[in-house]
Structure 1
Amino acid sequence: MRLGLNLGYWGTTGTDDLETMKRLVVTADELGYDVAWVAEAYGSDIPSLIGYLSASTPRLGWGSAIMQIPARSPAMTAMTAATLDRITEGRFHLGLGVSGPQVSEGWHGVRFADPLGRTREYVAIVRQALGRSNVEFHGEHFELPLPDSSGKALRLLLLPERSDLPIYLASIGPRNVRLTGEIADGWLGIFVSPEHLPEQLSQLREGRETAGLTLAGFDVCASAGLSVDDDLDVAADRLRGNAALYIGGMGSRQKNFYNALARRMGFADEADRVQDLYLARQHRDAAAAVPREFIEQTALVGDAERIAGRLRAYADAGVTTLNVSPTGDTVRERLDALRLVAELARGEGLHD
């Protein structure tokens, strides 16, 4: 099982300044982590951060988790991916996602209509561009070149480090997970629980079979919060705020993909309670309402022995890359948490 580091966004808290991010990725590189992932929403952007941070990591892979489909044309995404892959000497992983209606329509001005169809066409154009074909596409959402125009089918000028640069999709709903298996090289899963992963693996497998493929070589990536403490309640409390944000506030009452995921995992009543409190702007109460069982299932929390057991559970369930988000009261605690996971994974025979 490969190990990854989730850096998240830049500039949203007091602990994710550039110097801290650099210390985390340099440490991850030294410890043998395989990849670091950067996020974007409507603040910092991914390409700028990867371009800056990757200069300090000679071995570490880099990934976007995720670059938003409504934010860029598919051709612009192909240009950016090819550039970052050259900068990182063939170590870039292109993670894509449709975001949600509030960001897509409110920030980017792109209707959140037929997200699966748009994703399918978008990925096809990106692959065409990275393969350095003359880009020509006639779909429901994209038309290249524009008809009755002076446009022409152009070829990417930059020679990519890899024409088969891996494309990952962040997906949550069952249909979107199936599409991920069909058209992508990897899946970026959030709030992944080893106990519930078989259902998602089945959906990915169905998608692969549609394309005449198997899960062999397909990267099943799970994100997991990481909080080390001998007191399980203390460790879980560090992750409750983030869980409440997603379950309660990432979307509207009518459409929140993370809330729906928690419901499918058996936390329907609790998800409703968290959402009610969060939308009422009672954020602390919403965090307190996140059940510890949800945190325990979807994160690495507690002491070293418990975390070692959960690492085995993720590997046994079929996760091929585990991306951790270390938390702690100080930067030193976050760095120590990264070291602990690397040591435990090697000790369990899960990571070279």
Structure 2
Amino acid sequence: MTIPLSTVPLSEHRRVVEELPDLGYTDVWTGEAAGRDGFTPLALAAAWSPSLRLGTAVVPVQTRGPALLAMTVATLAEAAPGRVAVGVGSSGPPFVTRINGIPFEHPYRQVRDTVRFLKRALAGKPVRGVFDSFTIEEYRPAVRPDPAPPVLVGALRPQMLRLAAREADGLVTNFLAVRDLRPVLAAMGPGGAGKEVVARIFVCPTRDVGHARARGRALLGPILNARTYSAFHSWLGRGEELAASRRAWAAGDHRGACEAVPDALVDELLVHGSPERCREHVARYAGAGVTTPLLAVVPAPEFGAGPDAMLAALRALAPLD
């Protein structure tokens, strides 16, 4: 499950997080862009529910120094031994440069170098030397988590996908349909065999197709026209399918860009329908190679509004075994 949950203030998450294991949920994962940070909700969840696995999907490599990132992960892992995974990836200029004042340069190199740094540091080994994107005089970890948390890479296209397979413990991916897993996993190559595949899957448990598609377009319009995801879906062969949306976005018509996202694509990228149909759709992701289906729940009218509504939706979507 993705936390924090939309519509639920962080101060009201405790009763939800405490109930998740009894409902059959095994993990909570966060993201990080320009809203809540990726570690505070996990630290709270570590205290609230001592059985849940905790992961970042993902935190950017550009906005923390590698040692600070390693210290943060190691500290969380010390609080929750054996329950932490760290997913790292590249952010984009809106979040790196515009709000943090950090140059956005060589994203692939920064991700690769940070993965190499983390793998050594989280294993308790000193790190020193000249990397392509930073130089470390000497970092000696003061905390050595046991076991060392796995390091995953947020990846969409072949170069990053190969990096996830070659140097990390797994992959975190996002905003893709079930049929997209075949080319994504193929691009990882043989090195990806047996590694964890985390996919965030957006779910709106509603029988109201109009509501689901309206929420889906509002969610997908900006995402599919963002630089990284636009390139991802072009690589997946959706250039013609998204041409009208891209023309509207380029002209400054953001509402029109959302409205131009085709119904069929919304239905693939936003799981919706009855809770039973949603579970079946999520199971297809697992059947296609996702080892950790990571739900991100979109509010549905059947459950009302507010924290109680979101908890009711989670109960309805809960795994049956």
The Cα offsets for residues 76-107 of structure 1, whole Å up to 9 and x where unpaired, read as 11100000111223211101111013322323
Unaligned regions of 5+ residues in structure 1, if any?
A: 146-152, 209-213, 251-255, 347-352
Aligned-partner SS, 2:156:
coil
Query: What is residue 198 of structure 2 aligned with on the other side?
Result: 221
Q: How does 1:152-191 map onto structure 2 within 5 Å?
A: 153-163=138-148, 165-191=149-175
1:196 aligns with 2:180: yes
> Could you say what secondary structure the match of 1:65 adopts?
strand
- 228, 241, 244: which one aligns with 2:218: 241
**1:279, distance to aligned residue in structure 2 (A):** 5.6
For the Cα contact (< 8 Å) 1:90–1:161, is it kept in 2? yes
3-state SS, counterpart of residue 70 of structure 1: coil
For residues 111-126 of structure 1, the aligned pairs below 5 Å read: 111-126=103-118
Q: Deviations over 1:185-212 (max 9, x none)?
A: 1211111211121101111234x1xxxx
Amino acid at match of 2:179: E
Instruction: Compute the RMSD of aligned alpha carbons.
Output: 2.3
- Which residue pairs with 1:65 in the alignment? 57
Please tell me whether the aligned partners of residues 89 and 153 of structure 2 are also in contact (alpha carbons under 8 angstroms): yes
Aligned residue type for 1:290: V
TM superposition shift of 1:276:
4.2
**Could you tell me which of 295, 300, 303 is aligned with 2:274?**
303
* Distance in structure 2 (CA, Å) of the matches to 1:128 and 1:262: 34
Aligned with residue 294 of structure 1, among 265, 272, 275: 265
Structure 2: unaligned runs, 5 residues or longer: none
317-326 or 26-35, which moves further after superposition? 26-35
Query: How do residues 142-153 of structure 1 correspond to structure 2 at under 5 angstroms?
Result: 142-145=134-137, 153=138
TM-score by length of 2: 0.89
Amino acid in the other structure paired with 1:161: D
SS in structure 2 at match of 1:226:
strand
Alpha-carbon shift at residue 282 of structure 1 (Å): 4.3
Q: Size of the alignment, in residue pairs?
A: 316
The secondary structure found in structure 2 opposite 1:58 is: coil
Partner letter of residue 196 of structure 1?
Answer: D
TM-score when scaled to structure 1? 0.82
The amino acid that maps onto 2:145 is P
- Deviation, 1:236, is 2.9
Deviation at 1:281, TM superposition (A): 5.4
Q: Distance in 2 between matches of 1:85 and 1:54?
A: 9
Q: Tell me the distance in 2 between the aligned counterparts of 1:7 and 1:240.
A: 22
- Counting aligned pairs with the same residue, the percent is 28
SS in 2 for 1:40: coil
Letter in 1 for 2:311: L
Q: 2:78 aligns with which of 64, 67, 86?
A: 86
Retained in 2: the 8 A contact 1:82–1:161? no
Map 1:197-346; keep pairs closer than 5 Å. 197-206=181-190, 208=191, 215-216=193-194, 218-248=195-225, 250=226, 256-278=227-249, 282-328=253-299, 329=301, 330=305, 331-344=307-320, 346=321
Q: 1:23 to 1:232 in 2, by over 3 A?
A: farther
Counterpart selection for 1:30 from 2, 5, 22: 22
* In 1: Cα distance, 2:309 partner to 2:153 partner: 31
Give the AA of the match of 1:177.
L
CA contact (8 A) 2:244 2:257 kept: yes
User: Matched residues in 2 for 1:31 and 1:121: separation?
Assistant: 39
For 2:237 and 2:15, the matched residues in 1 are separated by 38
Q: Per-residue deviation at 1:72?
A: 0.9
Q: Are 2:75 and 1:99 aligned?
A: no
